[in-house]
Structure 1
Amino acid sequence: MEFEVTHPFHPWRGQRFVLSTRKQNWGEDRVMFYDAEGRLRSLLASWTDVGEPDVFIQVAAGRSFVRPDDLATLAALIEQIERSHGD
């Protein structure tokens, strides 16, 4: 079975690979495959067309670099750092 890398910012986007196996690795759903040099590689399954499509990636259609929740987390972290380094 082949799969395609679909993550909009991954350098392998659009490339197809032969699926070796799919498994949970450190709590992540990953696909395992061999690259052109014969090395075993893995990617998050959500970055491929193997599983359910990521709704955010579909809706954003490459127009957004971050998810709203991730942006809110980053803003809170920046605020915390600014407070800890303030006068």
Structure 2
Amino acid sequence: MGWAEIRHPFHPRRGQRFAVLKARYVAGVDTLILRDDGERLSFAIAREWTDLAAPNPSQRVDGSTARLDLGSLCDLVALLEILAARSCGGLVK
């Protein structure tokens, strides 16, 4: 099934690649069963902790999570005021 690299920042095996034996859902979590040839064992890990995770639309290229800043919130308020004025015939509270 290929290979997976552990990407979770606090996992002790972060940065290591393992062969994927199978994928399954365990208690509703998309899980990969990986093989560690060095220790001759297999272990389970959440897919989202690996490089095989589905892309996160709120994550930036550098890995940080996108958040609204003050400028974006002020722009949103201004837009809502304009839309409210249009729907109320020009009356804004």
Fold-level similarity (TM above 0.5): yes
The offset of 1:33, in angstroms, is 1.2
Give unmatched runs, 5+ long, in structure 2.
66-93
The 5 Å alignment of 1:37-56 reads: 37-54=39-56, 55=59
The structure number with the bigger radius of gyration is 2
Normalising by structure 2, we get a TM-score of 0.56
Give unmatched runs, 5+ long, in structure 1.
61-87
> Alpha-carbon deviations, 1:55-78, whole Å to 9, x = none?
39x215xxxxxxxxxxxxxxxxxx
Greater relative CO, 1 or 2 (CA 8 Å, sep 6+): 1
> Alpha-carbon deviations, 1:13-54, whole Å to 9, x = none?
100000111110111111101222121201010000112145
Q: CA RMSD in A?
A: 2.0
The size of the alignment, in residue pairs, is 60
Identity %: 32
Give the distance between the partners of 2:41 and 2:27, measured in 1 at CA: 20
Normalising by structure 1, we get a TM-score of 0.60
